[in-house]
Amino acid sequence: MKNSRRDFLKKTGITGAGFVGVSLAACNSQPESSDPFPQTYRQKFNMSGYAAPKLDVVRIGIVGLGNRGTGTVRRLAGIEGVEIRALCDLEPDRVQRSADNIKHLGHKPDFYSGHEDEWKKMVERNDLDLIAIVTPWHLHTPMCVYAMENDKHAYTELPAATTMEECWQLVETSERTRKHCVQMSGSCMGGTAAVILNMAREGFFGELIHGEGCYIHTLLEFYLFDKDMYHNMWRLKANIGKNGNLYPNHGIVPIMQLMDINYGDRMDYCCSISSDDFLMNKTAKRLAEEDDFWNEYVDRDFRGNMNVTTIKTVKGRTIVLNHDVTSPRPRGRRLLSGTKALYHSSPDRISTDQNHTGWGHYEWISDEEFNDLMEKYSPEMNKRFDEMTSQAKQLDKSGHSYYETSPVDWRLIDCLRNGLPVDMDVYQAATSSALTPLSIWSVKNRAFVNVPDFTDGAWQTNQRTLDIQLERGGGNTKLV
Ligand SMILES: NC(=O)c1ccc[n+]([C@@H]2O[C@H](COP(=O)([O-])OP(=O)(O)OC[C@H]3O[C@@H](n4cnc5c(N)ncnc54)[C@H](O)[C@@H]3O)[C@@H](O)[C@H]2O)c1
């Protein structure tokens, strides 16, 4: 054995110390991540921090009036200065239903329905400022792009895009047209998430080291395999042939906001793995035994049930993102870990470096201390939104629309009406959506992959867009 090792060293020309040196160098070197989506785009105009011309009234057209869109109409209709001028869905009765829901608020929208491309007629009108898009995923980018090309801001449900080409298309179009492209939800705007963001900015957690986010929502039988839940079974079909994180935005956007991704830090590279599918094909087979409708879903290439994507940022932080819409399990958590403290959601808990109980273990702070922190760090945006909600409650003419309006909807309209930059820009929409094609590529190739920089370097100087303390103004739009 000894001789053969010496022979090997002689043959390869490596002797003792050299061999050790080579081995250590190999161990210490950074893994090379792959670059299957090389970046060639150069920024035309920086949309981060851009304030579009002020709009006293925001005239809106909404497309997609299904499970989510029905609520979107009510949410937007309950904000001061909004005029819902047009509603569109393939199904005419959905348009009628949504129009009926907001009649008492004085909205008299025109109807568009009955044809796949009818939405284009709505977007082409010259009396709309904003198109809200609440359709199946594959329609989001084409609809956003068409809206921006036709001089409208785009407000889209997530994910804004499903492929890398679409992500770049959104950035390019927004910069060229100077129209906003804002993702509709998944943000630290409001409630506990906003307080935690404020605490992070105030340094409560110290330097941020690690974050975890997820979309864990059991959609198996009640949603994906329900014939009447989604238009043309789009959401079940989306789970076939693409193995990765299909819905990264709910999980990643709050972490991006907490870690100032695209405003001082950026995602550098990521690596993703997926479990096998233990549930979807079995469900399809079981249902197909009773009903031929399900035959076309048997033995399809279903996505693995759990996807785990790990991300490293340029500033050395780590992020873990989970996606699972099929396993029977409670809601997933969000986690933020810093040099001084840790936040854990579902249930909400905090531990700090003051709670050391010995042998390297830390306790959670008490509920009382937690509540005190929530009060102390409550940002201006929360206070103002709560104030608007309680004022609307006293008027109570909205059929309770104000209950449904989220801070994200409210602030978008507030920013447009006050001529302020929007809190969530197109770079956030593109970066968060890009994790779908990146994770799919990584799962397939068992490799690290570089995350494109949609800001083209501007992340180094861009200022935070999410104005949680309303320092740039606004916050004066009422709920009605
Ligand atoms: N942010 C959240 O918490 C949240 C919650 C639920 C859904 N969503 C998102 O909302 C979007 C819609 O989901 P959903 O559950 O309402 O789906 P859905 O299938 O219930 O609704 C989609 C609607 O789009 C319409 N539509 C389809 N193609 C059209 C076309 N060419 N022109 C006009 N209308 C068309 C359908 O008729 C349907 O009414 C998805 O992106 C989903 O991820 C977000």
Q: Provide the CB-side half-sphere exposure for 275 (13 A, CA).
A: 13
Distance CA 306, CA 246 (A): 11
What is the per-residue pLDDT for 41?
A: 93
Which residue did the predictor score with more confidence, 394 or 50? 50
What is the per-residue pLDDT for 14?
A: 39
Q: Among 326-335, 340-349, 390-399, which stretch is predicted with the lowest mean pLDDT?
A: 390-399
Q: Among 35-44, 111-120, 418-427, which stretch is predicted with the lowest mean pLDDT?
A: 35-44
- Return the best residue to mutate from 62, 65, 68, 325 for the ligand 1 pocket (most ligand atoms within 8 A of CB): 68
- Of all residues in the chain, the percent with pLDDT exceeding 90 is 85
pLDDT in tens, 126-157: 999 999 999 999 999 999 999 999 999 999 99
What residues does ligand 1 touch, defined as CB less than 6 Å away? Answer: 63-69, 88-91, 94, 116, 119, 134-137, 139, 157, 185, 230-231, 234
Mean pLDDT within 167-192:
95
What is the per-residue pLDDT for 403?
A: 60
What is the per-residue pLDDT for 401?
A: 53
Residue 16 in this model has a pLDDT that exceeds 80: no
Mean pLDDT within 384-402:
75
Residue 19 in this model has a pLDDT that exceeds 90: no
Q: For residue 42, count CB atoms less than 10 angstroms from its CB and return exposed for 0-12, middle for 13-18, buried for 19 or more.
A: exposed
Mean pLDDT within 28-36:
72
Domain definitions of the chain by residue range = 191-382
159 Cα nearest atom in ligand 1: 41
Distance CA 253, CA 453 (A): 16
Three state DSSP letters for 120-131: HHHHHCCCCCEE
Question: Residue 181: in which H helix or E strand, if any?
Answer: strand 181-183
Residue 118: partners with Cβ closer than 8 Å, 6 or more residues away: 88, 90, 112
pLDDT classification of 480: cutoffs 50, 70, 90: confident
Dump the DSSP string for 54-117. P-SSEEEEEE--SHHHHHHHHHHHTBTTEEEEEEEESSHHHHHHHHHHHGGGT--PEEEESSTT
Residue 249 in this model has a pLDDT that exceeds 60: yes
CATH 3.20.20.70 fits 191-382, yes or no: no
Contact 455/262 with Cβ under 8 angstroms?
A: yes
Distance CA 111, CA 226 (A): 28
pLDDT classification of 396: cutoffs 50, 70, 90: low
What is the per-residue pLDDT for 6?
A: 42
Distance CA 288, CA 347 (A): 39
Would you state the structure tokens that stand for residue 325, as one six-digit string? 């819409």
pLDDT in tens, 187-207: 899 999 999 999 999 999 999
- Return the best residue to mutate from 157, 184, 228, 245 for the ligand 1 pocket (most ligand atoms within 8 A of CB): 157
pLDDT in tens, 432-452: 999 999 999 999 999 999 999
- Of all residues in the chain, the percent with pLDDT exceeding 70 is 92
What is the per-residue pLDDT for 390?
A: 86
The 10 Å Cβ neighbour count of residue 209 is: 15
Residue 284 in this model has a pLDDT that exceeds 60: yes
Distance CA 267, CA 319 (A): 9
Mean pLDDT of the chain: 92
